[in-house]
Structure 1
């Protein structure tokens, strides 16, 4: 058997440790600590009205910071009516408005007939259905509300209904896929800019309230919002951000983070708020902080939004409303069914709004609902906003505008003193972004196998990076190599499982006298994480997507954790008597190249680095509308571009050797010379002239 086949770890770290669940368990353990802190904080906050109001201000501030704030100015709505459907008891108006300049919202306005005075109005927010406002289940809710004297504005969320953000007329569909796929695809780019795609959902809703207030049929003092699933999410956010709402009913959404994190199931990007678990922003807060205004939680007993968490959130909400002597203003209705805005929840919501906004009981009849075909409810001629208005803005455009407004200006570094100050400040900011644990446990390595094969010696090693996190590794070197030798820390996408593919490189390095140390950072190679849901491991909404977003909510990232693991690998190498601490190099490829690069910037024990196929620039990734999902959440740090881009870290490598081979653009292609010039060489020339010429440092090869 060849040596490179022997270096693959067998299951359970060759029988020593069960590591397949260590990463999910690690994030859950971190989360549990935050949940207990949240409980203690809320017990104090809910002791008096004053402390509660201060708590509300804190949560609102943290939420706004996490989503990147909201636009400061409101543009003219410029509403347009494209048609009316007349019914016996109501009419449906087809309306578009602009929530931001050239950023449109497609809506249906249900206006009851036979009412002479201004009526209460409901903002209806749609869940994850392809037809959105035209979905039959949502039509029923809107029609029933209209029958009971409510004006209803049903709006399409971005990525659904007539608002596909990646619409392509050539394929008559989304280039990405409607709904959660679009939300998370553009959500990644928003995360890099330090915002959240949710800010655009929320803003569309706020402007929807603005539109309702322009209508003569609407009483602006009697406004409410409701929605189911993703619409429940939007309703919850509106409860926190829109003070004009006088009642609300989030449905099939309110649970608890502690209950939901255990399911292994993902949420798409707008439902994951950065730092939410760290800062204690929980589902119940959206209801609690609405107090004392009437709030109804709609729940399904058999939902994937855990009913146990719903009950816990309702209990907390009662505590909040008790402070205002308004316990009767918060309620929970549970339908005995699976996920969905089914009849029991629909009727409960209408009863709630009728009681609190009309002061009467609703009128439910056996009269059948006149459900329209989705196409007949199209606001646009083509069925897609971008089909009618191809130059309209999308979230992609808005995020790039946002990034321009928040990214810092670059300084110019021309001398050694300025360089030292810049590098120190840069490392401090990067360290803050990565949020490493200050405690570093002593490494107790286990060398569980050592064997000589084909002129090379290999060692199988594992150690703990931190409590609960085992790292596996392979050390390879020329048999008979004596004394202190230089070492190469190698990071591969498949970790030690990828060693056979790197045979030529490893043999060459070994023959040159290096000890080659292939390290498995968490979730990779010998410590590979098992699937925790029914999607592919690295796919959008799969296991690593879920774990990445859990880490974002914890205020960190999987990338940060892996960079930490690399520094622990350096600790191990420096502990070995046969490694020259002044001769440690780093070799990394593809996604792991970013991990290696950040570690090299932070840790000067890496004396040289060789990176292949690394992403050229996060800004390039954000500027690439159809990017390659090779660059997924595993390489993302929230708000990275609010601080710097990858090229801006290069001054910290001054005085050390480095090679960048085949930098890759957002599409995953080898970057063109023009792309390299734009994102690296011109920036270095204009802002970091103290750095050596990059001509010999950056190369392209077939």
Structure 2
């Protein structure tokens, strides 16, 4: 009886103490902004809350969460309870932003690369991880559940003939009722086997109709390649099937990867296509899908992801990061996915005004290390344009052409002028109407064209978690 009474008294004391802790004035609660000012003083840094995300936010034991000598941990301790995070800017200041799964600070990206380096130090260890990553990516994208390619023939428009190249538009049924749309640029006349280059479109204005994509497709065709530029899902002519808002469905990522794979399947049936010489290059979102396709499809022999390789950014659109592939291998990033191309030739194009700003000092050495495991360090290159921004501009294209020529055995002289300079001026920039395959008003869209995003998910045994009005 005394023992029971003792336990009862101890329990009452514990409850009373816990209640006192929760209601006492010693929880050191204070505005988060005040603690961050203290951090600024302690670490001699500047922290900007330019979006007012800290307004009205208070935290128990706020100052106690400061970890002496460790600024990253201190900031994380303070911000994480509010699903906020910090980003270090090029000028050394820090800004506060809402948590986003696809974006972390540069120093967090650096930490991740150090961790990844610890996982493998030999070619054999890397090959094992690479195999695991590839299998996980295929499963995450849902490619293992994709229905077979329909047996329909591709829809092709009449060719337009220009100086040293031709253009025809294509619609390829990659899934029942789902058409991938693009344009095929070929050397003209085409009298010998030609290399194959895919150029997935990125999130730039005017899609694949814009000048820079037409330039690079035409130029590489002049050099001796069959080049296919193609639309993103729910962009360009794909909008005839799926409304613009569905581009931000995660299934868009699956369809875009599958488009590249099934375009290569189709090109393998083209008489003059040399499938031993296959390249892929795209910028921004197209850069993401350049990396994905190169990592998954062994037919890709040369890759050039443009303004997208980053250890701290994996793409702000679900069409890039919506399928959870960056959770593969207990956590990966685009730098490691880029490294999966090793030991095959790869050109990484970066700039100083987007998430690729640190590539020369951070991601490129990490990727080079993987190539070194094969003794092929020289097969990966970085063209960095520190004063430029997020585009596929002329300087980036001028870096691309010699690289593709070198490793796909193309004729760079075909695109040089009398001064020996690479010259794009002989390429014809077509109005977007000429690049349509379904007609000016979509009147040639096949009758079986799918317009229900929910049924697209069902093809993969999934359910759409977003609800849209079905397009009639």
| Fold shared by both chains (TM-score > 0.5) | yes
Q: 2:122 aligns with which of 25, 42, 48?
A: 48
Q: 1:364 aligns with which of 392, 408, 416?
A: 416
Q: 1:81 aligns with which of 144, 150, 156?
A: 156
Q: 2:347 aligns with which of 296, 303, 307?
A: 296
1: CA distance between counterparts of 2:441 and 2:182? 12
8 Å Cα contact 2:180/2:231 also seen in 1: yes
2:390 aligned residue = 339
Q: 1:378 aligned to 2:436? A: yes
Deviations 1:188-213 (A, max 9, x none): xxxxxxxx431111001101111221
2:13 aligned residue = none
Equivalences, count: 376
SS of the residue corresponding to residue 369 of structure 1 reads coil
Q: Mark the runs of 5 or more structure 1 residues left unpaired by the alignment.
A: 1-8, 168-173, 188-195, 407-618, 628-702
Deviations 1:65-105 (A, max 9, x none): 32233426333252121222111211101111111122111
1: CA distance between counterparts of 2:452 and 2:346? 31
2: CA distance between counterparts of 1:620 and 1:150? 39
2:332 aligned residue = 281
2: CA distance between counterparts of 1:15 and 1:108? 59
1:487 aligned residue = none
The Cα shift of 1:382 comes to 3.6
Q: Mark the runs of 5 or more structure 2 residues left unpaired by the alignment.
A: 1-30, 32-54, 64-77, 87-98, 418-422
The Cα shift of 1:115 comes to 4.4
Q: 1:268 aligned to 2:325? A: no
Alignment map for 1:502-651 (pairs within 5 Å): 621-622=465-466, 624-626=467-469
2: CA distance between counterparts of 1:54 and 1:346? 35
1: CA distance between counterparts of 2:109 and 2:142? 23
Alignment map for 1:218-257 (pairs within 5 Å): 218-257=273-312
SS of the residue corresponding to residue 315 of structure 1 reads helix
1: CA distance between counterparts of 2:234 and 2:368? 35
2: CA distance between counterparts of 1:117 and 1:83? 21
2: CA distance between counterparts of 1:117 and 1:139? 23
8 Å Cα contact 2:350/2:384 also seen in 1: yes
SS of the residue corresponding to residue 381 of structure 1 reads coil
2: CA distance between counterparts of 1:139 and 1:234? 18
Deviations 1:285-327 (A, max 9, x none): 222111111111111222x223115642211111111111111
Q: 1:214 aligned to 2:278? A: no
1:316 aligned residue = 366
Over 3 Å counting, the alpha-carbon distance change for 1:104 and 1:115 in structure 2 is closer
2: CA distance between counterparts of 1:225 and 1:395? 30
Q: 1:389 aligned to 2:446? A: yes
8 Å Cα contact 2:303/2:345 also seen in 1: yes
8 Å Cα contact 1:130/1:160 also seen in 2: no
1:24 aligned residue = 84
The Cα shift of 1:122 comes to 0.6
Alignment map for 1:128-277 (pairs within 5 Å): 128-164=203-239, 174=243, 178=244, 181-184=245-248, 186-187=249-250, 196-257=251-312, 260=313, 267-272=316-321, 273-274=323-324, 276=326
2: CA distance between counterparts of 1:255 and 1:311? 12
2:68 aligned residue = none
Alignment map for 1:398-409 (pairs within 5 Å): 398-402=455-459, 405=461
What's the TM-score, normalizing by structure 2? 0.71
The two structures, once aligned, show a CA RMSD in angstroms of 3.2
8 Å Cα contact 2:197/2:278 also seen in 1: yes
SS of the residue corresponding to residue 129 of structure 1 reads coil
The Cα shift of 1:114 comes to 3.6
SS of the residue corresponding to residue 115 of structure 2 reads helix
SS of the residue corresponding to residue 214 of structure 1 reads coil
SS of the residue corresponding to residue 389 of structure 1 reads coil
Over 3 Å counting, the alpha-carbon distance change for 1:275 and 1:287 in structure 2 is closer
1: CA distance between counterparts of 2:348 and 2:464? 42
1: CA distance between counterparts of 2:211 and 2:441? 17
Deviations 1:524-576 (A, max 9, x none): xxxxxxxxxxxxxxxxxxxxxxxxxxxxxxxxxxxxxxxxxxxxxxxxxxxxx
Over 3 Å counting, the alpha-carbon distance change for 1:34 and 1:309 in structure 2 is closer
The Cα shift of 1:390 comes to 5.8
1: CA distance between counterparts of 2:382 and 2:465? 44
2: CA distance between counterparts of 1:395 and 1:48? 48
Over 3 Å counting, the alpha-carbon distance change for 1:24 and 1:61 in structure 2 is farther
1: CA distance between counterparts of 2:299 and 2:464? 40
1: CA distance between counterparts of 2:450 and 2:210? 25
1:99 aligned residue = 174
1: CA distance between counterparts of 2:221 and 2:439? 26
2: CA distance between counterparts of 1:620 and 1:157? 19
What's the TM-score, normalizing by structure 1? 0.49
